[in-house]
Amino acid sequence: MQDGTPWPGNSVRDHPGMIQVFLGHSGVRDVEGNELPCLVYVSREKRQGFEHHKKAGAMNALIRVSAVLSNAPYLLNVDCDHYINNSKALREAMCFMMDPISGKKVCYVQFPQRFDGIDRHDRYSNRNVVFFDINMKGLDGIQGPIYVGTGCVFRRQALYGYDAPVTKKPPGKTCNCLPKWCCCLCCCSRKNKKTKQKKTVKKPKQREASKQIHALENIEEGISEIFVLLSDSISQKSSEGSQMKLEKKFGQSPVFVTSTLLENGGGPRNAIPPSLLSEAIQVISCSYEDKTEWGKEVGWIYGSVTEDILTGFKMHCHGWRSVYCMSKQPAFKGSAPINLSDRLHQVLRWALGSVEIFLSRHCPIWYGYGGGMKWLERFSYINSVVYPWTSIPLLVYCTLPAICLLTGKFIVPEISNYAGVVFMALFVSIAVTGILEMQWGGVGIDDWWRNKQFWVIGGVSSHLFALFQGLLKVLAGVSTSFTVTSKAADDGEFSELYLFKWTSLLIPPTTLLIINIVGVVVGVSDAINNGYNSWGPLFGRLFFALWVIIHLFSLPQRFTRKTRPDANHYFGVVNPAGLYFDSYVGPDKPIRLERWSCIRNL
């Protein structure tokens, strides 16, 4: 530190909670005269023996600190390897959040991920164009896109686990659709019925009515004082009960609990008194979330390494909807994995999180019914947690052509049969569907093909490993750890981005590629030896084998590249009232705040 004392956070897994306010007063301006926002660095308490929940725990700590210090109604979540590329992106998000008709039901506005440091060929399908430019657009027409972990503007009230506001149902059918004369008849008939009912009611006698009135007056005079006392005690007990429910849900911080009730935010903005700082230190302690609903119903949800899917899913279950905002100029840009092994490990982490969700109580197949989620939106979430299981049929699909060529047997019916015609019709229909999606989403054939290639490579490697790791973790209790993915540097030099680093994830796709090539060689050799008649049945087997090979053929092209060192990783929450950082890994290196210089233009 500046006074020569060691920094308290040098021990990454054992240090107190620390908050450093760089900018905390309004009126502070830069050299150009622009007012600077509040800038706060947060390092939550870490103690051995406590579960810190990785990124999700860090984000929950940040949302509590920002609620105590500024309590802005909207938050922007940006990972450290992303930076603000369009200073007007928040204004575009606010157009959806503050829409007078449907804005109150919007829980978050998700921006697509765009990346720097990717060569023009995008060999690893890092841009993921099919997902961000086709799938997410389709979800935007249902109930909204899923939350992808970064580049997302949230409504704070939605993160607190509240239900979406109930929209008023449109009035029932009236006689506006009928002619005026019919409407008049209906109205007259209704009035006549009401008057007839009134006439048929017998009036009580005046004496009996006067006796009842005097009796009621005597009773009212006797219990008026008791009613006042009871109302005071009931209101006090109800307020105490609601306060206990809020503390059980949000924790034992009265300042934070009070801030959760303010739908439009608000709080002290001119100064940060010491009392608020001490309260902010309390909400980032290790024991604050004990016996609360943090990570269960409030904030970023725990239980999976892909907490983003769970968090967005819980919001949609509460009846909220999300919005996909694709601005002309990319709102945020980030760095992509720098080699094949890192890319496969990244996909492994995502797939492992999906397997964990599938085997948990939050699985979209059986969780959250009756809460306002649409059926098509539920199907999209089911697809997001089921896809690792497709690695098993995909592995069989890639293995059978080689077996057929090596054994000389063909399990698929011949093309001349009816089953073969049906198969070709299905094959062509899938291709036509892909072409229509590409035309609608503006995705080129090259991006679509690279995405398809990497889906096969990742499916038989990362998805398969994630499936077994997830089963071991849930059924046998064997926990697996993951490493933060290395990302490309900022200089944009492509010559050093790719280096082949051997990993066990490459064993399945490499094995499949070799056995299919060997099968093709064996099949062609047998056809040459057996004569002309053997070439006909061989074409069907060769078709499937070559179809597998061209999907896996990009593997040899990735084995002769160079690499760059690992990047530092930080996660942050941005309020319109301030910027909050929380260090995640790499504490021995300083935070690179120069990337956030454009925050003043927001």
Binding-site residue set: 54-55, 79
CA dist., res. 18 & res. 21, Å (int):
10
**Distance separating the N- and C-terminal Cα atoms of the chain:** 32
Do 571 and 59 touch, CB atoms closer than 8 A? Answer: yes
Do 332 and 84 touch, CB atoms closer than 8 A? Answer: yes
Residue list for the binding site for Mn(2+): 55, 79
Alpha helices in 442-575 (DSSP H): 445-459, 462-471, 507-530, 535-552
Residue list for the binding site for UDP-alpha-D-glucose: 54
Query: Which residue is it, tokens 């094959």?
Result: 427
Strands of 569-575's sheet in order across: 18-23, 38-43, 578-585, 569-575, 74-79, 152-155, 106-110, 321-324
CA dist., res. 171 & res. 542, Å (int):
64
DSSP calls for 123-192 = TT--S-HHIIIIIHHHHHTTT-PPP-SSSEEEEHHHHTTPPPPPPPPPP---GGGS-HHHHHHHHHHHHH
- Token pair for 291: 């016996």
SS3 379: helix
Which residues are CB-neighbours of 252 under 8 A, at least 6 positions away? 288
> Among residues 506, 481, 486, which one has the least CA distance to residue 558?
506
Residue 147 burial class via C-beta count within 10 angstroms: exposed 0-12, middle 13-18, buried 19 and up: buried
- Token pair for 383: 């697809």
Strands of 332-335's sheet in order across: 82-84, 332-335, 114-116
